[in-house]
Chains A and B, each alone.
Chain A
């Protein structure tokens, strides 16, 4: 998150923070564990009213941002979400909205995009299950069939798949990446619910078995989605990493407070040098995580030529050191840290989830090297 926000941005962040504190305090998160959807529909609709899904949508398409820099604003929302371990399909709806505003047809904009801006859910069906779960791997295929196409493949994990009215699916058409918009009730589409480490996020595995796709359901040109998919991968990871920075900030605050409150051998934990030094390391990791998360948002927002390498660097860094810090927070709490009663696991869950979505730290390190090589070749 930026250190110095404008008054409007500050207000936007604080409004989001207060809204989440009010609607989804930890007690509510615990109750949502048993909820099939993972959130209250009115919660999402009110959030949409606050602008949560409009930030990556151009003004002509009915969107808008606070600062004029939509992704920077969305990073603030993600940070507040992470701090609250908030529920809701923030990532998946914003990715579909961004894709449609960028490359969608007028019909797609007045249909599905307007639906998202009104609180409907559309989900990004991009990642695939193992053994095809390397970052960016696509095996789903689109074949010509009469005037249109047929889609075959399996996508997972797809966020809020069971609630989505539509899926934005990436598939190969003659070996080239292509995006299509498919209605959830189209022929051959089935959703199998998945388990997840997060308390309130819900994922499904979506199977497309000879699903018919009309020519007008392509998003962008046939075979021309490579650029969009790189961009969307960057945006997804900006959201993930800013959410992680928020969760890390909250867990660090809880743990620092604990070291002052908890006494052993007649003195607070905070007085032991071993523990002071570990909190110092965590402070360094936290500040670095905040810095890289913010720089990643700025780089993609500004279309920096190094944006992808900056995003992958941020994801690789926070996944390594942020998660290590969260586990250390658990360790510093002792047994209570691994109970359901304590709040820490809510943030550990969110960081763990995000570290595994849209590229692990290893995936992103390999992506960095690929990008460096490409830069070298282009120079």
Chain B
């Protein structure tokens, strides 16, 4: 095969199947448990190390970064290859913690806007599992209005000095690098005074505070950034043009459900196993003969199928030119909305055991899952923002009025007047 001739997808599939069988551990219950978060710190760190090791294994086997360019250590293959790999890796362990936000949006942004030097330095390291990235995007003053960032970068010679605070960074305490949106100009309207930087997370000027969620999880963090100095060579994109980067950054974030830069097993079910939806949960709750429970199992399965079908249709529609890139928000909305319904169904199936359980009864986790139901509609851009994007950018309905347009950011009202 010549260098620029792409391997046939089916040949690639078979090669991946054989390699996975020989090299990749099968997913087991213990591994599944680690996907829920909320682990003691030592176990959490062990899981992170496992993810790095799994990524290294993919890299050594020639399966890391299937759609990443070869010059940065990727495989230079197509979406069809990535889809085939996602089919084949179903039921196996995979480095799930590295997918979001390291591969997308962070590596996606690096690939699109990074300098050659930045790409050579970071992309191969990411593909080897050596660098885990986080988004320094949201701030305590506002989640959805990302362009209203208050974290400030001031130029000092060849360096920038950063001060401010970022929040909702998942696992910043065990990550290596951050992609950071900062304000570099307060005298222009908000979208025109932003710049993007990259910075190592573990350094004296960054204090990491872990936030306890209502279910006890401490995976989310808030960072306090004090006089952190960054060389200008770690700036991404042009000065004050960070929103050009930011728009794509958030697009990548919204479209992680069908990004070709991530590994996402097509199902949690191995090729040789049968997907029976929530039937096992109904059985565990002793309700497999209850018609109400049986209808809920069917509803859940239909909804899962619809979410999968939509997940294939949206990127296909975008590639065919039948829908613009903003259509990615449709998938994001579906993930959030169908996710809440799935959680409701699981909660209902578990019955009273979801709210009060004996020790070791795993039905109890359905109750805790229910308490966290809305996270799927908040993280990664809220479903309200997705609805704004769909209505305004896909259906071309009028934009919302904003109170910060065309005035210097320093004059924008940022809270209720006393």
A364 vs B384: C-alpha distance when bound (angstroms): 31
User: Is the Cβ of A366 less than 8 Å from the Cβ of B294?
Assistant: yes
A316 vs B300: C-alpha distance when bound (angstroms): 10
Chain B CB within 8 A of A3 CB: yes
User: Is the Cβ of B299 less than 8 Å from the Cβ of A365?
Assistant: yes
Q: Which residues of the other chain, A, contact B397 by a CB distance below 8 angstroms? A: 259-260, 270-271, 276, 279
Chain B CB within 8 A of A175 CB: no
Q: Which residues of the other chain, A, contact B384 by a CB distance below 8 angstroms? A: 277
Residues of B within 8 A of A (CB): 273-277, 279, 288, 291, 294-299, 301-303, 305-307, 309-310, 312-314, 316-317, 320, 322, 330, 333-334, 337, 384, 386-388, 390-392, 394-395, 397-398, 400
Q: Which residues of the other chain, B, contact A65 by a CB distance below 8 angstroms? A: none
Contact A364 B398, CB 8 Å, known A3-B322, A4-B320, A276-B392: no
Scan A333-374; emit 1 where CB is below 8 A from any B CB, else 0: 000000000000000000000000000001011111100110
Residue in A3, A268, A291 whose beta carbon sits within 8 Å of that of B309 in the complex: A291
A270 vs B394: C-alpha distance when bound (angstroms): 13
| Interface size grouping (class) on chain A | 35 or more
Residue in A268, A277, A280, A366 whose beta carbon sits within 8 Å of that of B291 in the complex: A366
Contact A369 B274, CB 8 Å, known A271-B398, A276-B391, A288-B306: no
A4 vs B391: C-alpha distance when bound (angstroms): 24
Pairs across A and B, CB under 8 Å, 22 listed: A4-B316, A271-B397, A276-B391, A276-B392, A276-B395, A279-B397, A280-B333, A280-B395, A283-B394, A287-B314, A291-B313, A294-B313, A295-B305, A314-B305, A316-B298, A317-B302, A317-B303, A365-B295, A365-B302, A368-B277, A368-B298, A369-B295
**Tally of contacts, chain A with chain B, CB under 8 A:** 137
User: Is the Cβ of B305 less than 8 Å from the Cβ of A376?
Assistant: no
Chain B CB within 8 A of A309 CB: yes
Contact A3 B317, CB 8 Å, known A276-B388, A366-B291, A368-B298: yes
User: Is the Cβ of B333 less than 8 Å from the Cβ of A368?
Assistant: no
A373 vs B295: C-alpha distance when bound (angstroms): 13
A80 vs B394: C-alpha distance when bound (angstroms): 24
B110 CB to nearest A CB, Å: 31
User: Is the Cβ of A369 less than 8 Å from the Cβ of B305?
Assistant: no
A372 vs B384: C-alpha distance when bound (angstroms): 35
Chain B CB within 8 A of A273 CB: yes
A268 CB to nearest B CB, Å: 7
User: Is the Cβ of B276 less than 8 Å from the Cβ of A376?
Assistant: yes
A3 vs B309: C-alpha distance when bound (angstroms): 13
Residue in B276, B295, B310, B386 whose beta carbon sits within 8 Å of that of A375 in the complex: B276
B400 CB to nearest A CB, Å: 6
A314 vs B391: C-alpha distance when bound (angstroms): 25
A309 vs B305: C-alpha distance when bound (angstroms): 10
Contact A280 B294, CB 8 Å, known A259-B397, A288-B310: no
